[in-house]
């Protein structure tokens, strides 16, 4: 069944919410088939697929391109797109235009904005304009240049109180859920209890209403994997094995096998080459 901001909101305190990042149609389809409730087209796109060192270089154009690819997978999972570096700090009209583009042009069903109470006014106005917004507090990777690195949040009483105040301000502004990144477990618990919208943790322990992980971390595809991540597969190893075998077989002449050896006739392969485009596009790839 199609997930909506309403159905996600109703999951508060109930069954845990599972969110996975995806940046293209293939990974979105797989996350959806696995039953993920939400797909995040995160600006982690920068570190994962685009080869940058942080999320800072990720532009709106990049987010539009990748969000559109995810949206084309037509998932039951709710598609949330990150508002990239700097954009949330433009004057409201320009921010609204960027969020409109993510929803109207690219097909996002919600946007995620980093920042706490300071972002609340703009988020309220976006919600008034009909845009579904997910908040994001704790570690905000778009602040990495200012922070000088990544660290855990909510380790002191003051920081816990600040996180709770930020989360309440976001809830009052109308967000439908809040990501808590790299928060101490006690802080995660305090925020989750303080707000009526679901909290989605990453590196923040088990006390949130749901979890999000970056797909390349889950799959063992990342160059660097944060210590809180559980790797569920070694896809790098599998790809390496397949690619090495292919390279070896091309070099050694074992692939491709001659059609004469396979006993195929020239007429047969000519026929398959002129199958209609739509038929080819929709069916498993012809060999
Ligand atoms: O960009 C991203 O993938 C994120 C998650 C880490 C929450 O913001």
Tens of pLDDT, residue by residue, the chain (287 residues)? 999 999 999 999 999 999 999 999 999 999 999 999 999 999 999 999 999 999 999 999 999 999 999 999 999 999 999 999 999 999 999 999 999 999 999 999 999 999 999 999 999 999 999 999 999 999 999 999 999 999 999 999 999 999 999 999 999 999 999 999 999 999 999 999 999 999 999 999 999 999 999 999 999 999 889 999 999 999 999 999 999 999 999 999 999 999 887 665 555 555 555 666 555 454 554 43
Q: What is the 3-state secondary structure (H, E, C) of 219-231?
A: CCCCCCCCCCCCC
Residues 82 and 135: their CA atoms lie apart, in Å, by: 10
3-class SS at 113?
strand
pLDDT digits (tens, 9 = 90+) for 167-223: 999 999 999 999 999 999 999 999 999 999 999 999 999 999 999 999 999 999 998
Asked whether 137 lines ligand 1 (CB < 6 A), one says: no
Asked whether 217 lines ligand 1 (CB < 6 A), one says: no
Residues 157 and 20: their CA atoms lie apart, in Å, by: 31
Query: Which atom of ligand 1 is the closest one to the Cα of 48?
Result: 3
Asked whether 202 lines ligand 1 (CB < 6 A), one says: yes
């Amino acid at each position: 069944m199609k997930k909506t901001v309403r159905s996600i909101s109703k999951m508060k305190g109930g069954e845990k919410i599972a969110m996975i990042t995806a940046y293209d149609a293939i990974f979105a389809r797989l996350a959806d088939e696995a039953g993920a409730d939400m797909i995040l087209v995160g600006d982690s796109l920068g570190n994962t697929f685009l080869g940058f060192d942080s999320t800072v270089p990720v532009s709106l154009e990049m987010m539009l391109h990748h969000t559109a690819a995810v949206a084309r997978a037509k998932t039951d999972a709710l598609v949330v797109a990150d508002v990239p570096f700097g954009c949330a700090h433009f004057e409201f009209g320009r921010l609204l235009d960027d969020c409109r583009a993510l929803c109207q042009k690219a097909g996002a069903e919600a946007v995620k904005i980093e920042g706490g109470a300071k972002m609340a006014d703009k988020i309220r106005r976006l919600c008034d304009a009909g845009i579904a917004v997910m908040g994001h507090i704790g570690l905000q990777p778009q602040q990495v240049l200012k922070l000088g690195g990544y660290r855990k949040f909510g380790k002191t009483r003051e920081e816990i109180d600040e996180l709770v105040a930020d989360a309440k301000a976001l809830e009052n502004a109308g967000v439908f859920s809040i990501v808590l990144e790299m928060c101490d477990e006690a802080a995660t618990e305090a925020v989750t209890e303080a707000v009526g919208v679901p909290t989605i943790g990453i590196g923040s322990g088990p006390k949130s209403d749901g979890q999000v992980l970056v797909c390349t971390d889950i799959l063992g595809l990342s160059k660097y994997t944060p210590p809180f991540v559980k790797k569920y597969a070694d896809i790098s190893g599998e790809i390496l094995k397949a690619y090495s075998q292919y390279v070896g077989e091309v070099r050694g002449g074992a692939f491709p096998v001659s059609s004469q050896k396979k006993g195929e006739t020239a007429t047969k392969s000519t026929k398959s080459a002129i199958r209609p485009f739509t038929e080819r596009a929709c069916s498993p790839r012809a060999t």
